[in-house]
Amino acid sequence: MPAFFLHGRTSSKPSRTRTNRIAANRGGPGRPGTLRPTPRRTFPARFAGWLNRNRRLAVALLLCGAAASTVHQLTPAPLDTVAAVAAARDLPAGATLDGADLARVQVPPGTVADGFFGEQDQAVGRQLAGPLRKGQLLTDAQLVGPGLLAGTPAGSAAVPLRMADPSSIRLVSPGQLVNVVLTGTGGFEEARPPEVLAKGVPVLWTSTHGGDGGQWLGTAETEGLLVVAAGAEQAARLAGASTRGKLFFVLVGP
């Protein structure tokens, strides 16, 4: 056979390099099989890769979380509330309350005192014993009536007294302390020394600050009247004292 023909003949065997490459892809020489799978990345590796690609977004999310946590800690928990009645405007002593004078408000339970009113109808028509500021909660102790004795010693009584000088009532206000003095004459116009019937009794109500007093005293004849809180012994001396002479008061300190 000619030499040139043998030289140009192509061998049908694959080269060793190619055989090794195919065997490597198939799992090794002599092992039939599939292509080697690409190893899967674990979650920490994937998260680290995402974090590396989205650094700014991650920082923004962390800052938002910190801000939300701070706001949650600083925001107080919502409190339960109760209905109460407050003055809708400044009200003077002696005012007879109507619906326009009062407002119904919701307040935390710990801010209301004993004797507070939950509905406006409970206070309409009652009379203020002292002035009331706008927004101030209303209680029975601020109205003419038995509530004025709130906080006084057990056995105390509200005693009405008619002063000999009606104009002097303008000098005293509810809450002030007074000594009640009786002056008079005995038989045959014999002068008697003044007698102190009660010392340091608080004034609850006056005809000047309490209007006509019809809510409590049941009469419109209130000129010169004041009402004081007195203990049992003092009340016994004060009862009917105006029939034994003339009554005056002296303002005293606490």
165 plus 210 within the same structural domain: yes
In terms of domains, do 192 and 157 share one? yes
Is pLDDT at 87 greater than 90 in this prediction? yes
pLDDT higher than threshold 60 for residue 89: yes
- Does residue 235 sit in the same domain as residue 178? yes
Asked if residue 248 and residue 170 are part of one domain, the reply reads yes
Residues 155 and 138 in one domain: no
Q: Which residues contact 141 (CB under 8 A, 6 or more apart)?
A: 113, 115, 147, 148, 150, 151
121 & 198 share domain? no
Burial annotation 74-84 (CB, 10 A radius, 16+ → b, else e): eeeeeeeeeeb
Mean pLDDT of 134-151: 85
Taking 80 as the threshold, does the pLDDT of residue 201 lie above it? yes
User: Residue 69: helix, strand or coil by DSSP?
Assistant: helix
Compute the average pLDDT of residues 118-123. Answer: 90
If asked whether residues 151 and 246 sit together in one domain, one would say: yes
Of 122, 143, 164, which residue is a domain's last?
A: 143
Residue 214's region, left for phi above 0, alpha for psi from -120 to 50, else beta, is alpha
CA dihedral 36, 42, 47, 50 (to 10 degrees): 0
C-beta separation of 161 from 207 below 8 A: no
Count the domains in the chain: 2
> Which pair of structure tokens corresponds to residue 16?
């060793």
Whole-structure pTM value: 0.55
The parent domain of residue 88 ranges over: 82-143
In a domain, 71, yes or no: no
> If pLDDT is split at 50, 70 and 90, which confidence band does 71 have?
low
